[in-house]
Amino acid sequence: MADIDDGYTRIANELLEAVMAADLTARQLKVVLAVIRKTYGFGKKFDRITNTQISGMTGIHHTHVCKAKNEMIAMNIIVTTAWRSGE
């Protein structure tokens, strides 16, 4: 059984409920959970996350990660911003 002493990701109920209610494919769900882990799991609201990082976490090929991310950007589930060097 999982033990929070081994670590946990603090996530707002509203966000978790929105993910549960969203009509996502299995790949999209894995990608959004990886994004949540890489952000909220480290106490961040945003971060630069590569397709390769998500691929390593989920086992999904990076080209399929890119497709799933783009689909969820179009669905307003994932938000992207321009990333400037040095931030």
- Domain ranges (residues) in the chain: 8-74
Q: What is the pLDDT of residues 2-55, one digit of tens each?
A: 888 888 889 999 999 999 999 999 999 999 999 999 999 999 988 999 999 999
**What class has domain 8-74?**
mainly alpha
SS3 content of the chain, % helix, strand, coil (to 5): 55, 0, 45
pLDDT given for residue 85 in this prediction: 64
Instruction: Write the CB contacts of 63 (distance below 8 Å, at least 6 apart in sequence).
Output: 51
Q: 76 pLDDT band (50/70/90 cuts)?
A: very high
